[in-house]
Structure 1
Amino acid sequence: MENRNTTAYFILLGLFSHTRAHQFLFVVVLTIFFTSLLGNALMLLLIHQDHRLHTPMYFLLSQLSLMDVMLASTTVPKMAVGYFTSNQFISLTGCGLQIFFFVSLAGGECFLLAAMSYDRYVAVCHPLRYPILMSWQLCLRMTLGSWSLGVVDGIMQAVSTLSFPYCSTREIDHFFCEAPTLLRLACADTFVFEYVMYTCCVLMILIPFFFILTSYSLILAAVLHMRSTETLRKAFATCSSHLVVVGLFYGAAIFIYMRPKSYRSASHDKVVSAFYTVFTPMLNPLIYSLRNREVKGALRKKLPACCGISTS
């Protein structure tokens, strides 16, 4: 307890070593990262420029793409710089900013996915009342609420985590600053903070997750009463793909933030964190957006213009 760390920096041990196998995995992660940036940036561009996509559903999808771009950019560039330059140092301020942006974006995405599930529920179960039940005013409120709740949680976790005294060990066995990993270095009793963080996770993760499950359960119940086999098939395909992405994102978040401290493993945490900070953002535009008929039409319309090809 006397030998506390007074130096305002930490050392990120990273995700990969310089072995041949890890070099291959590093290239894979970078490829997924750039694919995610390209896919989400393409979605933002299409939704912004095509007036047919100016609807509440696609506005929510654009916010999801924006969150995914920012979420991946919060962690991967720093990891890549550390791997290439062997400069694995991160300042106390930089560590706090990583925690803030990561928690804010991940928490905001939890609520945004719940808002998107409500949008799909209204579209399938109450199509005639969609303009009323899913008005632009409600859409903007849900979006602003998702961002605001995420930012509040991010501020709380960043400030609380960095307020603890840290021991002489400055090495963080992770590729970015994540609150549960950083708490292992604290020289103080973190029980109260972990309890509060657990409570926040119940509110930020489990409540939206159960709301999403309820929405899709009602959608599937409504679809089962439809007589069209083609409509039933498309609805099942859409709902199942959406639920797969939701399950991956929420499952990883629950694994990281809602396990007791005694059951945590640094190596497992790094792999799971890499999964839902890099891999899931790549899946979202593929599952939610690029498979839609309207998005495909907008893409076919924009590609010839970008390549200088005349469609006349």
Structure 2
Amino acid sequence: MQTPIVITEQEFQKGKELFSSFPQYRWEVSAPSEASVTEAIRVSGAWIAVLGTERYQGPLYEALTKNAKGGHALILRYGVGFDGIDTGQCKTHGIFLCITPGALDESVAEHTIALLLSLARNIPFCHGEFLQERFTRRTGFELAGKTLGLAGFGNIAKRVAEIASLGLRMRVISYGRTPLERKAASEGLRPEEYLTRYHLANYYTDFDTFAKNLQILSLLLPVTPDTTRFLNRERIELLPKGTYVVNTGRGKLVDEGALYDALASGHLAGAALDVFTREPYVPQSEEKDLRKLMNVVLTPHIASDTQEANRNMQKMILRNIEAFLAGEFDKLTTASG
């Protein structure tokens, strides 16, 4: 007997070949809206759902739980972000929420570096001019010797630091709330050994000091109540004039209105964003549309969208489903929240 699993259309298409090779599962493909997903759950009897990045805040949870008939239900998300999932409702209804940690680290790190290079060498601008049959040049700058500040130092940031330091000869510093001594001790290292292992010139727990010592800021923090709009007007003002900002973390980390003002005024030299407060991107106002600025590079949340990362995530999703159905809940890669 096949197990029904509701999956949103984009997520299914990314892994159609692999998913279809598991005949024990009946994949119920749904449009991404909560109404569509909820209806698919009700009709199919599924108590497992693979969801995209839409916001799911209503009847979906109750529908899954009803089909579980007193047992647990399961929600799976591509990637490590779960902003659109109501974790409170998951707890209330006994629903496991699984993510795919580690599956996309390389892809996001590489895209971060790609955005750095695009900013440094004005690649989008020059390409756009070329398409208009204009052979316009714009002087760029080398990344070698520049100081890259990483706000957040998880696995993706560690890979960015490695590429930037060893590959581009950048000076890399990082900011985080956990003291360096504790981070080092958790890996059995002394602070200086930790810095050396992860290619850091320094590590700060004070953002003010961190901000004064960088030329390019990369945001790689998780979204929490403390980090929502982390890069606000006050923190932007702490950055040296001429700083560049890259966000491949989460859209909610940035106050996009304040960012626009700093870019338009020249306080910030440029920015490259792959994630946004609302996706698809919607400007805070018609007057503060980041798409109208010439010193901005924008990509549509594609940092993790590579063949390799998608395959890794699909395999992890399937392993989670297998463990869940076997009752091996300790093997699930569950999200905290």
TM-score normalised according to structure 2 size: 0.24
Say which structure, 1 or 2, has more relative contact order (CA 8 Å, 6+ apart).
Answer: 1
Structure ranking higher in strand proportion: 2
TM-score, normalization by structure 1: 0.25
* Bigger proportion of residues as helix: 1
